[in-house]
Structure 1
Amino acid sequence: MSRRLINSGSPFEAQMGYSRAVVDGDWVFVSGTTGYDYETMTLSPDVAEQAAQSLRNIGAALSEAGATFADVVRVHYILPSADDFEACWPALQEVFGEIRPAATMFEAGLANRDMKIEIEVTARVQS
């Protein structure tokens, strides 16, 4: 089985020594992904927009890996404030509403105080 690294173009990946995603056989592991728009290197102050941008970033990584959101089996949501989670639900429902992967929300500090959500997914591409 081959192992392939996927990068988003974010400077953080090289600085911190990680990949946006790792493909290992049928499995795709997408690292914790925040709401940065990597084309403009901007971060919305709105948690709902950060959630939507995080999902766009994840979707791009999944696509490069040959996967889609339909292949996602597990999702972790990390927020500095659990009180912000409900504002993210519409974006999450739009992507995962029919897929319904196993999911857990954690309240924890993130690398930057401006980050309001980080999302990580695990997907398995069906042959």
Structure 2
Amino acid sequence: MLPTTVEPSTCLCRAAFLNFNNTYFYKSIAMTKQLISSGSDFEAKIGYSRAVVHGSWVFVSGTTGFDYAKGSIADDVVAQTEQCFINIEAALVQAGSSLKDVVKVTYVLPNGSDFEPCWPVLQRYLGEVRPAAMVITAGLLDARMKIEIEVTAIKA
């Protein structure tokens, strides 16, 4: 499956601004929303996008270690973490962004003790970036999945 990008759509956002008199005024701003797809059938089945670009913000959905090119998922949590970042990086590039733009990351693992072995991979991909982070221990959709990673980025 080849990655695809859905045509951008425009939506209006209402923003509040503070003027020099310390009073607020509101202005509607047209912002483009772009949907990014990895080409996975699963995205269409349940109605979500791999990533959504809204203005300079990029929201990458929870991403697992599934290798779309091979149609498989590794048994090892470290290998899955590596593949998560490969998948996330591909979505960010499609969005005109990169891992350097990541400001928030959430890790979800069914087994919290699996997190520490992943640290060298996290350090390699995000060590210089140092985004805000959160780790959640929760079940994932498929028992083979050992980690899911979601990121938010702001395009530079």
Q: Percent identity?
A: 57
TM-score for the superposition, normalised by structure 2: 0.80
- State the alpha-carbon separation in 2 of the partners of residues 93 and 103 from structure 1: 13
- State the alpha-carbon separation in 1 of the partners of residues 103 and 149 from structure 2: 13
Q: Which amino acid aligns with 2:40?
A: S
Structure 1: which 5+ residue stretches go unaligned? none
**What are the superposed Cα offsets for residues 57-85 of structure 1, whole Å, 9 maximum, x if unpaired?**
00000000000111000000000000000
Aligned to 1:8: 38
TM-score for the superposition, normalised by structure 1: 0.98
- State the alpha-carbon separation in 2 of the partners of residues 86 and 15 from structure 1: 33
Structure 2: which 5+ residue stretches go unaligned? 1-30
- 2:56 aligned to 26, 38, 43, which one? 26
- State the alpha-carbon separation in 2 of the partners of residues 88 and 42 from structure 1: 20
Q: Which amino acid aligns with 1:26?
A: S
CA RMSD of aligned residues (A): 0.6
Structure (1/2) with the larger helix percentage: 1
Aligned to 2:80: 50
Question: How many residues get paired?
Answer: 126
Cα offset, 1:12, TM superposition = 1.2
The question of 1:74 aligning with 2:125 is answered no
- State the alpha-carbon separation in 1 of the partners of residues 85 and 48 from structure 2: 19
- State the alpha-carbon separation in 1 of the partners of residues 119 and 39 from structure 2: 27
- State the alpha-carbon separation in 2 of the partners of residues 101 and 79 from structure 1: 19
- Structure 1 segments (4+ residues) deviating >6 Å: none
- State the alpha-carbon separation in 2 of the partners of residues 10 and 88 from structure 1: 25
More RCO (CA 8 Å, sep 6+): 1
**What are the superposed Cα offsets for residues 17-58 of structure 1, whole Å, 9 maximum, x if unpaired?**
110000000000000000000011100000000000000000
Higher radius of gyration, 1 or 2: 2
More divergent stretch after superposition (77-86 vs 10-19): 10-19
- State the alpha-carbon separation in 2 of the partners of residues 62 and 117 from structure 1: 19
Cα offset, 1:107, TM superposition = 0.1
Structure (1/2) with the larger strand percentage: 2
The question of 1:41 aligning with 2:53 is answered no
Q: Which amino acid aligns with 2:38?
A: S
> Which secondary structure does the structure 2 equivalent of 1:99 belong to?
coil
